[in-house]
Structure 1
Amino acid sequence: MTEGKREIIKGLLSEYDIQSAEDIEEALKDLLGGTIKEMMEAEMDHHLGYEKSERSDSDDYRNGYKSKTVKSRFGKMEIEVPQDRRSTFEPQVVKKGQKNINNIDSKIISMYAKGMTTRQISDTIQDIYGFETSEGFISDVTDKILPEIEEWQNRPLEEIYPVIYIDAIHYSVRDNGVIRKLAAYVILGLTCDGHKEVLSLSVGDNESSKYWLNVLNELKNRGVKDIMVICADGLTGIKEAINAAFPKTEYQRCIVHQVRNTLKYVADKDRKPFAADLKTIYHASDEKAGAKARDRVTEKWSSTYPNAMKSWTVNWDVITPIFKFSADVRKVIYTTNAIESLNSTYRKLNRQRSVFPSDQALLKALYLATFEATKKWTLPLRDWGRVYGEMCIMYEGRLPD
């Protein structure tokens, strides 16, 4: 501790009757108000061109003080704002119209990003800072990011993405007093240098080929010209939409979802051996070997679980694109680790909020959660150079060297 700090503490103890931590906060609150006033006095001196004790022939001069209530980390406090006769003084330390001197807006948005409800945020601010904030106020603060979301949703994208993932998570949303299940669709792209990038977020319940065509056309309108592989679950109409929007793009059924959907039909005691058998399909050396493995698994389990393997036959044409790749590339395409880590962040929102008050509130929460999750995305995928090299050969002339 510096000598200057020791002197400040001595002065604090001599000036205030400090007996507890609360007394310290009250003293600091008083000092904060006095410090702000002194800073604004200095600003007024600069504005008028002369100090308070000096004489001047100027027709503008000090005109008393105006009391103002602001919120700080010590709670509500009164500060005295100096005034001038012309009312041209614009203080900078606490600006006109500013009601908060604690960056509370950014703290509210940070709490919202972590999945807290407006009521939880309001209660937290009351507990920590000692002043009340209505749920409406919290909502107004978070609404400030709506233009930012719109700008982000319309930002230009790269021309080429080797792989794009599309996934959906379902949330309960209140709509005109009725609680409905809505899907939040996230589109995640892998750039040519192997970095992950969330391209789009949308909320809706009208899944169809027309819906997905609109989504993919939006990507085109934002600059995307080519995609090698789109990996997604069995979203209604997605295959037809891909063929229309990006006819050269391969649609790969998400193997992770395919396995999960299959194991839904299987009893707990059989899931581990069944999952091991399924692995022999998508780990097969080529499509022909994969088909044989599929038939063996179907024959083995059909008597016990007659419907479990049906989707592997029905969707075989969109399961097979992975067979032309090596194990390294297959892992990038079908494991969807990239999007699963993001989804774990989104699922926290479901655990913390049983119902969202509106689809707009859900979109705000998803957007903020996305930026919380993507702060860590600083490095390309592991072994990306090998993966990209193979894709350049497989999709000759479509990826930049």
Structure 2
Amino acid sequence: MANNLITKEQAQSIIENNDIKTPQDIMGALKNMFRDVIQEMLENEMDETLGYERYDHDQPKSNYRNGYSQKKVRSSLGEIDIDVPRDRNADFEPKIVPKRKKDISDIEKQIISLYARGMSTRDIHEQMNELYGINVSADMVSRITDKLIPTIKEWQGRPLEPIYPFVFMDAIHFKVRTEGRVINRAAYVIIGVNLDGMKDVLGIWIGENESSKFWLNILNQLSSRGVKDVLIFSVDGLSGMKEAIQTVYPRAEIQRCIIHQLRNSFKFVSYKDYKEFTRDFKEVYRASSEDLALLKLDELEDKWGAKYPHALTSWRKNWDVLCPFFKFPDDIRRIMYTTNVIENLNRQYRKVTKSKCIFPTDTSLQKMLFLATDKATKKWTQRYRGWDKILNQLTILYNERITPYIG
């Protein structure tokens, strides 16, 4: 699994170079990194003003560097001391930090905001050049957005609630450049619904291939973050997930997404039969009970089995994880039988990443997804409709598991 935001070697280098021992040391290192970025921008601005780079002795000169003046500015990381270059003719008018400007937090916020919208480093360079008349290299953008890494690691490891009635798990795929080649990376997203009926993204993990071991690691992380119980998992048919859930949360119901299963079945059906086939299939997954659903599945196989065997065999094969929702009331069924809640979030991810065909690193993908998640979840201010009724139903069904956590 590739869910580390920085390598061990990079982390060790940061610790050694900055003598990091406490959280305050981390903030100090971040301030130094941001100060270096601003300093580099100022030097680039001076080069442009003078028409030549520093230490370039071959160019004819009508103006010269004339040392530095110290300035204290405010950023989102706190106050930072910078050295503003001076020129002999006093022509230099810095744009990144104007002479009377004391607060530069808007610059870094602007860069992170542009990054969050899915803009490439080249687009950010052009935007910052247009807005401020400054050159922001891809390396600068990366260094500024790398300030998010401690925040992401803290978010990914934050304490969670002890029980979630519903947990949804799904994946979305991206292309990432690794060791000189482009590979497919999956971002595994987990959303939980708490006892108040509110959604929350519990975490995002970047990986190449899923397996029971992979999912066991992720679920153990949830457990170590305080999740003692999950009533119902709604999942896609990801490899190894069922076995891992049964190991960490053996009392949980596992419901495979009916919508995904239907899509997989319908792709085998010809256009001329599609309407009739889908209408017949509704009799299965809209049945009032599991017994009736199995009866309707028998009828479906009698009618269509010979013509579309591949559309139906997976239902028999996976019936144990497709049928659990039949034992629940309709209000609970509507929540648990689909992972649409994650698919809606995935649409937000695709929207902000559409300009990036290939991510340069796993870390760049993680930063983008974190920012998109932060933006999307700020709108999650309403609990599930009819939640009071749903919670009452869940309390009746799982009284001894829910009651200790209510009130």
Change (3 A) 1:128 1:275: farther
Structure 2 partner of 1:319: 322
Would the aligned equivalents of 1:69 and 1:77 in 2 still touch at CA under 8 Å? no
Structure 2 partner of 1:174: 177
1:337 equivalent in alignment to 2:340: yes
Change (3 A) 1:303 1:195: same
Would the aligned equivalents of 2:348 and 2:376 in 1 still touch at CA under 8 Å? yes
CA distance in 2 between counterparts of 1:143 and 1:299 reads 59
Would the aligned equivalents of 1:70 and 1:77 in 2 still touch at CA under 8 Å? no
Q: Which of the residues 216, 220, 230 maps onto 2:223?
A: 220
Structure 2 partner of 1:265: 268
Unaligned runs of 5+ in 1: 1-66
Give the share of equivalent positions with the same residue, in percent.
44
Please give the per-residue CA displacement for 1:63-86, whole angstroms capped at 9, x wherever unaligned: xxxx99869xxxx999x9997xxx
Cα shift at 1:90: 5.0
Please give the per-residue CA displacement for 1:297-350, whole angstroms capped at 9, x wherever unaligned: 222222332211111000000111100112211111113332222111112244
Moved more, 387-396 or 173-182: 387-396
Would the aligned equivalents of 2:289 and 2:327 in 1 still touch at CA under 8 Å? yes
Q: How does 1:1-400 map to 2 (within 5 A)?
A: 95-97=80-82, 100=97, 101=104, 103-400=106-403
Please give the per-residue CA displacement for 1:82-126, whole angstroms capped at 9, x wherever unaligned: 97xxx8x85669852286436121111112112222122212222
Cα shift at 1:361: 0.8
Change (3 A) 1:69 1:190: closer
Structure 2 partner of 1:61: none
Letter of the aligned partner of 1:276 in structure 2? R
CA distance in 1 between counterparts of 2:298 and 2:196 reads 39
Change (3 A) 1:92 1:206: closer
Cα shift at 1:291: 0.8
User: What TM-score do you get using the length of structure 2 for normalisation?
Assistant: 0.74
Change (3 A) 1:268 1:362: farther
CA distance in 2 between counterparts of 1:151 and 1:295 reads 51
User: What TM-score do you get using the length of structure 1 for normalisation?
Assistant: 0.76
**What secondary structure is seen at the aligned counterpart in 1 of 2:81?**
coil
Cα shift at 1:159: 0.1
CA distance in 1 between counterparts of 2:41 and 2:352 reads 35
CA distance in 2 between counterparts of 1:77 and 1:339 reads 50
CA distance in 2 between counterparts of 1:175 and 1:192 reads 41
**What secondary structure is seen at the aligned counterpart in 1 of 2:183?**
strand
Letter of the aligned partner of 2:389 in structure 1? R
**What secondary structure is seen at the aligned counterpart in 2 of 1:397?**
helix
Change (3 A) 1:129 1:102: farther
Unaligned runs of 5+ in 2: 1-38, 51-65, 84-95, 98-103
Please give the per-residue CA displacement for 1:277-308, whole angstroms capped at 9, x wherever unaligned: 22221211111011111222222222332211
**Which segments of structure 1 move beyond 4 Å, counting only runs of 4 or more?**
67-71, 80-83, 89-95
Which structure has the larger Rg over C-alpha atoms?
Answer: 1
**What secondary structure is seen at the aligned counterpart in 2 of 1:157?**
coil
CA distance in 1 between counterparts of 2:119 and 2:40 reads 31
Would the aligned equivalents of 2:167 and 2:234 in 1 still touch at CA under 8 Å? yes
Would the aligned equivalents of 2:331 and 2:390 in 1 still touch at CA under 8 Å? yes
Cα shift at 1:181: 0.7
RMSD between superposed Cα atoms in Å: 2.7
Change (3 A) 1:108 1:300: farther
Change (3 A) 1:177 1:300: same
Would the aligned equivalents of 2:256 and 2:338 in 1 still touch at CA under 8 Å? no
How many matched pairs? 326
**What secondary structure is seen at the aligned counterpart in 2 of 1:97?**
strand
CA distance in 1 between counterparts of 2:193 and 2:235 reads 14
Cα shift at 1:269: 4.0
**What secondary structure is seen at the aligned counterpart in 1 of 2:226?**
coil
CA distance in 2 between counterparts of 1:190 and 1:387 reads 12
